[in-house]
Chain A
């Protein structure tokens, strides 16, 4: 293969505007498949089943078999469509996409063509620095997955050079929703990050809706990235490539960046981009050409005559809409305003992945400031030290209880940190730890005064300095008192009493 030339990323952006388009396939976690009663391997319950054990005459494409639409898949598709801000079609139709391939049992895929279930949406996507983009959604349509080929023999594990191939039809007929964006303009140098953040947003959405296991490593979520470049100032879009097999968030970002650099190098030399499918190679961080798109463009779509149109009732769509969880960006905006955080404070919570923990801690009674302080401060420090997530160290209820003890004066910050260590060590609730370790602040002035008088008596030179007005000398006495009280005293109160007793002493 000829060596691929890449242009420096910054230089590429100076010369060209990147335009991206994303196709995301979401495997639904329904009980049965899209058109057959066979169990669905994209449901956690059936994951990992032996090859060709989750099949029926329908997913094997046996002569005489007929598809029947899975109502659960339709409802989950509608929920996803609504979450994407789409309109839901009053009547939606399936179509056959005809092409021969041995993983496609019928040699046509039942998909949707001109009448998708959901269309015209918009998704708000947030970048790491807090800026947001509106990604326009063209459509979300229902279809069935193909089976899985394993190529045996040959060096590459690909079909070329293989001795023979095995087919597993377990995946054949798994319900998919394909979400297609419109071309995304204006992301500029952030296009790779936006692509990643978009897929991440779809994943969050699928999880909060409960419609998919949404695990990229299992192929529950798959992304094809379309990239094209146009010279600065040009109106017409450039020729695009479609990069497939991008199976992690990190590789989405890398693949888009790679294609921008690769295409820029070709275009800058006066070359032309071939419209084609390209494969992403995780190991080398490169893409290589697949089949040219024009070869297989004619899928001879026509309405699926074995199925009647899907006509969702408006009442049911309204119910599904009412049941939608709040979209993540809107929730973030609402919480930031409610809590009165600065941009910097809020970003600290979000980037630490602690939004849900802080929210739950506040819901359990803590002040926003205290909740933020404990999670992004001491708990994050402990988490970093033990290379784990802060969220896994303590429950929001315990953090709220701790904050309440500090608020009531029962604990000083220093004592509270000790209590928190006990919570993390699994010793119980903060109150239980305070009781067990006897860590509460001593608020009995009598006990303090006795300790102070003893300390002053032991250090007459210090007493003399204090009485001469050298107030800072009091520190030595305060330190001695705190030591005598084993730290369980409020230092400010001790200081007040030290000055009082020094003045009174004769």
Chain B
């Protein structure tokens, strides 16, 4: 059976691999008679869809490219909202041929086999003209005939293959970026062609300078170089003139100023000498400079965008639909179409799309993203529910009160934007240097001019111009962007997405590291921290709790599978209090101590102590009773991440002080601080207070904030550097300068260490290029700088910087 992937986890021979995903099939699900085995019904459906559409080659391709991770599973959604005219108007565009096109962000595409499968959509869904995937961005461009098929069918097909589709929200920005990228590439191409051809002419001229050349050819080559350099100097280098002009107007000198001075001085003096027919020309150096600097600038632009793009894609994953109840029927509509007064249905697991009031049903809500509180909150008709929270237990109906910007989350997003605007820009090291650099170069050029006016008036201007050109900071201009680009690239491969060089520069210093508790220092979900009593009862408790989706139940049921030994019957749920069941005919009770007492279970002294100890540690006690007697006490809490202590030590060793700022109860914050040995911190801070505290702290010292929730987002934006932790809310992604795409705290320490190493590389680069400049400038002052020497020195310094940037181990 060729399509069975030979990648069973662990490689045990007895294990049966799933025909679709290759993971081992649980023993209870193996069907000895069947040809194909599946680990779950999702894989079975995906396999049947792929086989049914005649696309089995997918499995062969996957074998060949040895895809590292398993295929994703579909969500089984119906995507009705994609057919809503309001939605199509928002996201789809018409093509000249009368078809419609849309960009969908696909979850789970990762290899050539996925690419192949997705691009075969037109063969399976009639009415689809084409489906092209950009695998780097996970974006599929679908062109379909609205008269022949509906977009929801396309999306449902992709979903059934295991690629849940989301409308991509950044099309306009992407097109804008693409257009400017293309324009920039053309600029680079012209600058490169000009520089290359002038270099050829310059070879002839330098050869002539050493071995003799007829004046006729010398003049021809100089004029040809002058004409050739016009597009480069006048058009390609315009980027630098605009930057320089802007910086002069705001009275902040940055790198573009010395660059522009060097280019213009070299070109003007070369042009003058060409017309006069005597003296040196520098067209080769000037155009090579423009080309190299444009490449550096391009690298910088790309690097700034790559991480921003990764977060933008995650943005597209936001719940964009709600289930609207209208006249007894339920249909999916875009969240943007919700109006106050509308009634929406929320099933277990759905995010709340808008602020409103529960009108039917009761359930529990997970507020952790909004407030940082781990313990779920009970809601019943009449209770308010906020957008951004998640419905956990059962179906409820919600009457919408406010939507979009008017929700609590919407107000928080406005606060984030405001904080981000107020933040002072970081003056990069290279720009700080360029301030005095410009002054020094201009002073030296003037001095050279004055000295040589005395010594040899004819050659004075030549020497001064030679100085301006050789001191044009090519390597200096490349030093920072290349080092930062290389570091950001390395970091991204380690799951640390950095939006810009500013963050690296700031994190390399020392300051206060403010950490959120829930989801950052801790796992952000309930689990059993302590189990006192009969271990043998644990699988039974797990089997009972598997019948409920309450977070406490999920925590108790985790990590246990159903077998004959722990089969339970007569499970009765007492919402919010506990559950009862029977196991081998014996009554079992699991629930809060109050519930147990109420059901006639007597809690003895030893058990009472275990319960009190749990409460003292900020944990939630759960009593398990067998035959009406307590058999075990479980203590549930939000466990501290296993790498937290080690990481905090590493952060402290970098010279940072560590603090906690949480929205959770001060009691549980204090427990975590005690366990991790953190001295400063506070709990019970609402999102607005968090942002305010961080801003106040930032006034005196550098403050980095790490958090995961919407409640942290405003504080992230207010901090000098905001770090979004893995699994965080979308608002966090928008506000953070760095996003950790890998679970755990260790990436924070890696980030600090990597930033410091990156700054070391930048400093080394700057030192190299200043050294080259100093050497060249002294030669120019001495009047021994020859254009040929300048043409060698400049690329040599740039190559040094390039090598030093890419060879360095930063992350």
Chain B binds chain A? no
A residues sitting closer than 8 Å to B (CB atoms) are none
Partner-A contacts on B (CB < 8 A): none
